[in-house]
Structure 1
Amino acid sequence: MTLDEQIEALLSQAPGFWHLDACGVTRTERQIPALLHGTDQPPAGDRLQLVLVGGLSGTQADADAALTALHSYRTAPALSQRYALSAVPCANPDGLALGAAPENGAGGNPGTAYPPPGDSYYDANPEAHYLWRWVSFQAPDLVLEIRTGEATSWEGSALCLELLEQFRAVLKASELPSDSSLMGALSTGEPNLLPPIFGLRLTCAAADLETELAKLWTVLGQVPDHARSPTRSALQTRAARSPLEAARILAGVYGHELDPVIYTQGVAVSGRLRLAELDAEYADPSDGIAAMVAPYMSGAKEWFPAGGEGGANLAGLVWADELAATTGDNRYADLLVQTADRYRTTHDNGVPIPSNPNYQVEDMFFTAAVLGRAFKLTGDDAYLTILTRFLLDANVQQEDGLFWHDRRTPFYWGRGNGFAALSYAETLTYMPDDHPDRAAVLAIHRRHLQALRGYQHRSGMWRQVVNGPGSYPEMTVTCMVGYALARGLRRGWLDAGYTEMLTRAWHGVAARIDDHGGLVDVCTGTGVQQSTRDYLDRPAIFGPDERGGALSIWFVTEMESFLRQH
């Protein structure tokens, strides 16, 4: 039987017990299968969280051992009532399928080199990158690795052995070495900038596996219900923060620069102004922002120098109307209107000059951000006419409701769909209720959000390739869709049925903002690509990132506003 057939057989033994997912994608674009028990969104839930990893070697024996352990877990009396288990039974499926074990057939070895170096997930060892991130953000109370070998041995992390004497007494576990194996690296330092895990590794012959697992299940029955791991506790602390608390963290890092003038910085400047409206304890940043842009206002610096005058740059002024309101200085509003006038000239096909003539989805947001605000400031219908023609003529939304990157690029890029959701939310914000195009704009937007509902991951996130199981949960698409949901619910064009979708997105994002404004897996700047592989291989930034920080602060401030109304 193939691995897929083995997993299907396991699922058929207890329909509904396991949920089949994918934690990553190999170089051959094979999904790395994951099996999930329990419906809670990590790190939530009353049950203790187990994570099981097998098949790092890419051998059939190790994959078989992991699948045997899953069957044993399901059938162990009362175990699944206290624990929820997530498992990767074969973390090296290409090594298994291609007969390349212990390597993966692409020059990588998923069993070594942890923590994996560099940005994720595009090198010769993507399995290691995906697994490294996935394990931590399952919020495990205990991680178990199973592998086959002639002699039986149990090894445990120092934290794990300190938790319960039975790990030593019953399992006779020794301490895991601090090496470059997955378990060794997860057990020390700050894996994924989180505390080290509670971990166990079992090595034994297949004939002894059931006996050793029975010992483990007995020991786990003695673990106190409150025995949360430091990893899970840290993620629960993040998730328990209010959006306002998250916004304060983000505002301490982002929105303090505008050089060059670009949306990735301008949105964060706007976010700081929005935070000041919500938080009496946050010092009004208006004077500081005015000082920051003073060289531009005086002419000492050029707003949009040659090569820096595209839509992404023009949308870098999304703060201007807000700063005009807080300072009473209408020069900022005038600047925004003058910038919007650049959209009055068009390409031969009628697309505004600042936008790509192939109707790239990012231009939908840039156009909406500038022209919507210009209409608000002037009441001139011409701005809305240009905007709605661009949105309604684009024809990049597909029959399933999702958006291609542009007319010629048939891939469902995550942030591309985030741009689409955000652009329609921004347009509806400024468009009068009686505008003749409002119904058409709203219909497209609702159909898009309904399509996205079906692709929201258990974590609350959307993926780098929306319809690509195993591609990484990506920060910016989730923030942008979350913003669109919160804005629509708050303004009334979305019904309450979208609330759960929003709440799950918020919980996913909250767990991925650390105490210093670092973020988890922000897709780097991405133009139109030529294949799904190209989108999968775009670097995922872990840590501070101005694009991710800007879109995060917009989402969390909008989420705070939503919660105050509900």
Structure 2
Amino acid sequence: MQRHVSQFDRRTLLSIAMATTTASIWGWSACTAEEELALDPRQGSRKRLPQDRLNEILGDTFPIGRTASGSDVMLTRCSSELLRGSAPPSGIQSKLRRIAIVLTSPVPAKTEQIFREDIALVMDLLVKRIESTDHKTDLTIEFVALPAATGNTPAGESRFPPTKGFYDHPTDPQARYLWNWLAVEGFDLVIELAITKDRHLGASADAAAMLKLSQASLNVELPLGSISRAISAEKVAGVGSIPALYIAGPASALPEGAKGILLELTQLIGKLPNSPAHEELIQRVDRDWNKLNTILSETYNKKPNSLSYISSLILLGRLNFAALSGDVKAVTKLMDDIRDLAQTAIAKPPKSSPEVAGLLLFGILQLTFDFKQFALEKDRKLYLQALHAGADQAFDPSGKPLPIAPHHGDMSDAIFMWSPLLVLMHTITEEARYLDAALIHTRAMQKKCLREDGLYRHSPLCEGAWGRGNGFAAVGLTLAADFAPPGSEAKTFFQEAAIAIVDQLTERSLASATPGMLTQLIDEPSSYREFTSSAMVAWSAGVLVSSKLVDDDRKTQFRSYITAALDQLSRRMADDGSFVDVCVGTGKQPNLDAYFHRPASQGRDDRGAAMMLMLQLQRQMLLKSENQAIPEAK
């Protein structure tokens, strides 16, 4: 039989929450619960911070997702580090403690605001405590009121943990947004708040031990299907579990109860350990390029059956890693696979943009691979034949460039699929017609897809600035700029266009709530943080810096983005080569909603592997060009 708490006032909640009052761990005397909470002596009144201080503490509010009906899911982040005037939290810092508070019951806006104000009170107190001592263990609290599903949950499906429907679930995409957000942000404790008739306190075993909660103080098991139960028992998005508390009660009493728990946590914050999820993220970010490349090369090692940009980039990344590692046997085997692809391209010329872009492999090898070292000089002629089989489709029978290259589909993807290939062909053959065709095609695509604000719509069907669509534009323009001959019109055109898009994308990302990541729709922050577009822009930024195509100010900005992206992307890649939030293959969509709801792959994904391999390869080229290291993300 469950034991119910007879009262849910401030004193009672604190006695439930903590079996004993902990002494100060920072050198001050612990206040009594009454002194901490009786912030206003008038019975029944609530202490409020001055409005300017409240705005300062609660000012970092941003969307982390949206509902099926199109409403944003807003999160408020309060950081003692930022409030003390230090730099905002970045990376997975082991000394920064993170607590997520998730309200899973619908409440009026006024009640939700009370929760936010009480969190602000606690954070204000914590900052004062930190500033009065020599100990600087900081805390970030993030609060989100999770909207209810917009329809009935399908039969047999629990709300948590979500196992599918990222992010096209018909009734509850918001649960998926929150689940993956919690997975990659390094939280050490999750507190679930729920509105119920009776008063309840539950805790996962690790949370109870960590907070020294007695079994007598816990009067309910974590509810089945609740986020507190799922997140403490599951590897969240394959990352790790997070200790959890479940606090439930009437809406009129719950804010005070939550505040009491937080006040006690401020006494313990220096002793809270990293959660398993936090520890896993630290380990992921600490992997060096050799470890990451080994994982990718061993996981994505199947011989491709067909030519595409995905298979070609994976092969290129694996080949360069094998060559850098001195693995002659692996190089020879990979070159056999590449030779087979070249023969396929000659026998069956590419009939789609992804197939055309797959030819980049042969062009890049023509320029960069040491054929003599591996006794493979005979392959040069074969690769050139394969290149002609695709690139020559950009001309009419008389040899004149077409107004726009074929298979473009009206999509910004075609800038990547065609432009660098045509510039490469000029570099290899020294035929001016290829450079002319590259300029003609790219300008035609910009006319279709380049918006007035400098972002690229995916296609003229709608204004949606799809993340990977802008990534395609960034990489395509950047590679074309890198390959174009110095002093040519093409060099100037592609360099300026590449810098413009990469500058805007990196600036947007660095100013966002998750520096180093771009969203599924670039200018829609409530869309999900998408893996491939973020990697593609980091790849592009690395090329522009290593090839000395940018000025010092942009060089600093681009390097900052690369460092942030390496941190964020490493968090989202497991040791088994699986990824978090890779947008699936996407043709042109009719409206913004279609891009919002485009599914994101959770697990092993060839697109994610291809872009991560290219980023790791470019990382090494950048180190070599500047003879210095990009700071390892920590």
TM-score by length of 2: 0.78
Q: Which residue of 1 aligns with 2:632?
A: none
**2:610 is aligned with 1:550:** yes
Q: Take 1:287 and 1:212, find their aligned partners in 2: how far apart are those partners? A: 62
Please say which of residues 63-72 and 484-493 is displaced more in the overlay.
63-72
Please say which of residues 194-203 and 53-62 is displaced more in the overlay.
53-62
Q: Which residue of 2 aligns with 1:312?
A: 354
2:195–2:254: 8 Å Cα contact kept in structure 1? no
**2:425 is aligned with 1:363:** no
User: Residues 240 and 176 from structure 1, CA distance in 2 versus in 1: closer, same or farther, beyond 3 angstroms?
Assistant: farther
2:307–2:341: 8 Å Cα contact kept in structure 1? no
**2:102 is aligned with 1:53:** yes
Q: How far off its partner does 1:443 sit?
A: 2.0
Question: 1:216-235, aligned counterparts within 5 Å?
Answer: 216-225=262-271, 227-235=273-281
Structure 2: which amino acid aligns with 1:63? Answer: E
User: Residues 436 and 323 from structure 1, CA distance in 2 versus in 1: closer, same or farther, beyond 3 angstroms?
Assistant: closer
Secondary structure of the residue aligned to 1:421 is helix
User: What CA deviation, in whole Å up to 9, does each residue of 1:385-420 have, x standing for no partner?
Assistant: 211222233222222211111344321000000001
Secondary structure of the residue aligned to 1:319 is helix
Q: Which residue of 2 aligns with 1:439?
A: 492
**2:68 is aligned with 1:27:** yes
User: What CA deviation, in whole Å up to 9, does each residue of 1:40-91 have, x standing for no partner?
Assistant: 2342363211111114445558635632442333233447864433434321
Q: Which residue of 2 aligns with 1:122?
A: 168
Q: Which residue of 1 aligns with 2:309?
A: 263
Question: 1:313-328, aligned counterparts within 5 Å?
Answer: 313-321=355-363, 325=369, 326=371, 327-328=376-377
Q: 1:40 aligns with which of 75, 84, 89?
A: 89
Secondary structure of the residue aligned to 1:248 is helix
Structure showing greater Rg: 2
**2:540 is aligned with 1:484:** yes
Q: Take 2:113 and 2:429, find their aligned partners in 1: how far apart are those partners? A: 68
Q: Which residue of 2 aligns with 1:160?
A: 207
1:244–1:557: 8 Å Cα contact kept in structure 2? no
**2:517 is aligned with 1:517:** no
Structure 2: which amino acid aligns with 1:558? Answer: Q
Q: Take 1:185 and 1:265, find their aligned partners in 2: how far apart are those partners? A: 37
Percent identical among aligned pairs is 20
Q: Which residue of 2 aligns with 1:5?
A: none
User: What CA deviation, in whole Å up to 9, does each residue of 1:282-321 have, x standing for no partner?
Assistant: 55533212333555566xx566758x61121121132224
Question: Which stretches in structure 2 are left out of the alignment for 5+ residues?
Answer: 1-49, 80-87, 131-135, 629-634
**2:249 is aligned with 1:187:** no
1:178–1:187: 8 Å Cα contact kept in structure 2? no
2:97–2:269: 8 Å Cα contact kept in structure 1? no
Q: Which residue of 2 aligns with 1:340?
A: 391
User: Residues 176 and 260 from structure 1, CA distance in 2 versus in 1: closer, same or farther, beyond 3 angstroms?
Assistant: farther
2:402–2:437: 8 Å Cα contact kept in structure 1? no
1:482–1:505: 8 Å Cα contact kept in structure 2? yes
1:61–1:148: 8 Å Cα contact kept in structure 2? no
Q: Which residue of 1 aligns with 2:529?
A: 473
Structure 1: which amino acid aligns with 2:539? Answer: Y
Q: Which residue of 2 aligns with 1:422?
A: 475
**2:436 is aligned with 1:385:** yes
Q: How far off its partner does 1:150 sit?
A: 4.0
Structure 2: which amino acid aligns with 1:138? Answer: E
Q: Take 2:266 and 2:214, find their aligned partners in 1: how far apart are those partners? A: 13
TM-score by length of 1: 0.87
Structure 2: which amino acid aligns with 1:30? Answer: S
User: Residues 131 and 439 from structure 1, CA distance in 2 versus in 1: closer, same or farther, beyond 3 angstroms?
Assistant: same
User: Residues 257 and 73 from structure 1, CA distance in 2 versus in 1: closer, same or farther, beyond 3 angstroms?
Assistant: farther
Secondary structure of the residue aligned to 1:202 is strand
Q: Take 2:69 and 2:317, find their aligned partners in 1: how far apart are those partners? A: 41
Q: Take 1:475 and 1:128, find their aligned partners in 2: how far apart are those partners? A: 19
User: Residues 551 and 303 from structure 1, CA distance in 2 versus in 1: closer, same or farther, beyond 3 angstroms?
Assistant: farther
Secondary structure of the residue aligned to 1:478 is helix
Q: How far off its partner does 1:24 sit?
A: 0.4
User: How many matched pairs?
Assistant: 540
Q: Take 1:350 and 1:322, find their aligned partners in 2: how far apart are those partners? A: 26
**2:128 is aligned with 1:75:** no
User: Residues 303 and 472 from structure 1, CA distance in 2 versus in 1: closer, same or farther, beyond 3 angstroms?
Assistant: farther
**2:519 is aligned with 1:463:** yes
Please say which of residues 492-501 and 205-214 is displaced more in the overlay.
205-214
Q: How far off its partner does 1:112 sit?
A: 4.8
User: What CA deviation, in whole Å up to 9, does each residue of 1:106-148 have, x standing for no partner?
Assistant: 8689x95211132401112111111111111121011111223
1:244–1:560: 8 Å Cα contact kept in structure 2? no
Structure 2: which amino acid aligns with 1:492? Answer: K
Structure 1: which amino acid aligns with 2:313? Answer: V
Q: How far off its partner does 1:104 sit?
A: 2.5
Question: Which stretches in structure 1 are left out of the alignment for 5+ residues?
Answer: 1-8, 96-102
1:65–1:146: 8 Å Cα contact kept in structure 2? no
Question: 1:283-298, aligned counterparts within 5 Å?
Answer: 285-293=330-338, 295=340
Q: Which residue of 2 aligns with 1:84?
A: 139
Q: Take 2:223 and 2:322, find their aligned partners in 1: how far apart are those partners? A: 46
